[in-house]
Chains A and B, each alone.
Chain A
């Protein structure tokens, strides 16, 4: 089950903790992967670790034209994109009253607008083939909110609504669109938390620990598989029981 041999996947944010694990997991199931991120050197490192069946496509997701080009380049390198994983995300945390316009705009541009633009580009040929898997990485912050993250939470909640609308449009055409909402996962993003924050958060998690990037990657493999054809518009919550939706 969940064999992805012969499938082609594009993963954004592949230099991050979760994105790297997603690329590795899809690759491990046999997929050819195109990995994208802002840091070209780090991408090359990830590619080297994976071995063959890997393409490196650096991209700054704040640049709309570059995002469209990323989609076109991925289709050219891969032949076609069967699996699109919109994983890239940034944080620019600040209290609501102190948040700068640029902090708001950057997070919305990378976390939400780029997903729309890239998906629109890739969707065209998925529609032609009447097949495709779109997996968007949301966040528990978008589900329950998080102090200091009005921008991040808005972008991630936005992904959930956008994904549901997309699923309603395209599911009759063999394309599924789903979200995964990770809880607190051990990554460079959560390494920024203070010890006290980590303690407080862990106390609210029934599993009593942070998750791993592999916990998320396994769910991406499932949603990307042929076997998951009847699940669409869904948000899969992977958070150690922190929220039971």
Chain B
């Protein structure tokens, strides 16, 4: 597992208060991890802070699963 993946999962666990083993790459924030839509906005803000990048709104809308976030950040984080 990449460093980015680990950091993403740590943020998700902390932010949503879910068990680490539930945070798989296929897990959907809303359907599987109990996030509401505002939680997903906050997660994106937390990713931006952790990885020092900006996630535009249209990209944020495509980040639905833990794997989506990891893929986006692997491509775009500095």
Contact = CB atoms under 8 A, between A and B. Distances in A.
Contacts of A169: 38
Interface in B10-63: 38, 41-42, 45, 49
Contacts, number: 9
Interface of A: 124, 127-128, 169-170, 173
A128 B45 CA distance: 8
Interface residues of B, number: 5
Interface of B: 38, 41-42, 45, 49
Contacts of B41: 127
A124 B38 contact: no
B42 to A, nearest CB: 6
Pairs A-B, 5 closest by C-beta atoms: A169-B38, A127-B42, A128-B45, A127-B45, A124-B45
A170 B42 CA distance: 11
Contacts of B45: 124, 127-128
A124 B45 CA distance: 9
B7 to A, nearest CB: 18
Given A124-B45, A128-B45, 7 more contacts: A127-B41, A127-B42, A127-B45, A128-B49, A169-B38, A170-B38, A173-B38
